[in-house]
Amino acid sequence: MLKKTDLHHITPHGLRHTHAIMLLESGADIKFASERLGHTDVKMTADVYIHIMQNHNQKSINQFDEYLNS
């Protein structure tokens, strides 16, 4: 089927990772994402997805800056 549709193979783990990234990028709280993923603690989630959190933090700072300047 992949050959006919030119789709890339993605593993269940890849789908899980994609779901986590989409949750965090959409603004979901890291604690919520951590619980949804079944991680034992938030630190584990933060360690794996720190790059997403940094992007989210920068976006929040930019939004706050826009608010202050409006």
Q: Is the pTM of this model over 0.85?
A: no
Say which residue, 9 or 39, is predicted with more confidence.
Answer: 39
Structural domain of 38: 2-68
What is the structure's pLDDT at 1?
A: 57
What is the structure's pLDDT at 19?
A: 92
Convert the pLDDT of each residue in 29-61 to its tens digit. 889 999 999 999 999 999 988 877 777 777 778
DSSP string, 2-36: HHHHTPPP--HHHHHHHHHHHHHHTT--HHHHHHH
In this structure, the chain runs to a length of: 70
Q: Answer yes or no: are the C-beta atoms of 10 and 2 closer than 8 Å.
A: no
What is the structure's pLDDT at 2?
A: 58
- Domain count for the chain, please give it: 1
